[in-house]
Amino acid sequence: MEIEEGKNSRITTIRINSIREEQSLCDGPGLRTVIFLQGCNMHCSGCHNKSSWDPAGGSEYKITELAEILRKKCPNKKLTISGGEPLLQAEAVEELCKELEDFNLCLYTGHELNEVPQSILKHLRYLKYGSFVESKHTSVLPYVGSSNQKFIILYGGKNNA
């Protein structure tokens, strides 16, 4: 992890697992590009993305370079940030959101709503929150994996498309 030194020091790198090559209709409204961040300490039973668990796995990117890659891969500017557990890299997620201020951003987290920092919420158009519970798995409710999870509109960010 790299941190830019100075009066307002900030994280400059982020670890990612992958960027989905095909756009998705299941990870928030519209045709969305999905980025999976690296690292997850929730270890839910039935997890389909165990390769994202190791916080030292995946690949490290400079946040500015990753934002440029996402601009090329995501011409409609609808991006879902998933994992792994994105809030393990909360500061880096905030910096990525700032780089993509003109995007329609959605965050998928296993944490509860009150655990998501306001500094991230203000950039989001959508949020999926709550842990994945295998016994409550659903393929009927939109944009969630289990019925205990919630998907909400936040009206954050500058892109309301």
Q: Where along the sequence are the contacts to ligand SF4 (CB under 6 A)?
A: 40, 42-44, 47, 49, 52, 83-85, 110, 132
For the bound state, the minimum distance from the C-beta of residue 27 to ligand SF4, rounded and expressed in Å, comes to 12
Decide if 124 contacts 40 (C-beta within 8 A).
no
For the bound state, the minimum distance from the C-beta of residue 5 to ligand SF4, rounded and expressed in Å, comes to 32
Nearer to ligand SF4, 49 or 159 (CB): 49
For the bound state, the minimum distance from the C-beta of residue 72 to ligand SF4, rounded and expressed in Å, comes to 26
For the bound state, the minimum distance from the C-beta of residue 150 to ligand SF4, rounded and expressed in Å, comes to 14
Cα 98 to Cα 103: distance, rounded to the nearest angstrom: 10
Nearer to ligand SF4, 85 or 94 (CB): 85
Nearer to ligand SF4, 116 or 157 (CB): 116
Closest CA to 15 of 82, 84, 61, 51: 61
Nearer to ligand SF4, 103 or 129 (CB): 129
Decide if 38 contacts 15 (C-beta within 8 A).
yes
HSE-up of 71 (CA within 13 Å, CB side)? 12
Beta-bridge mates of residue 80:
34, 106
Cα 125 to Cα 123: distance, rounded to the nearest angstrom: 7
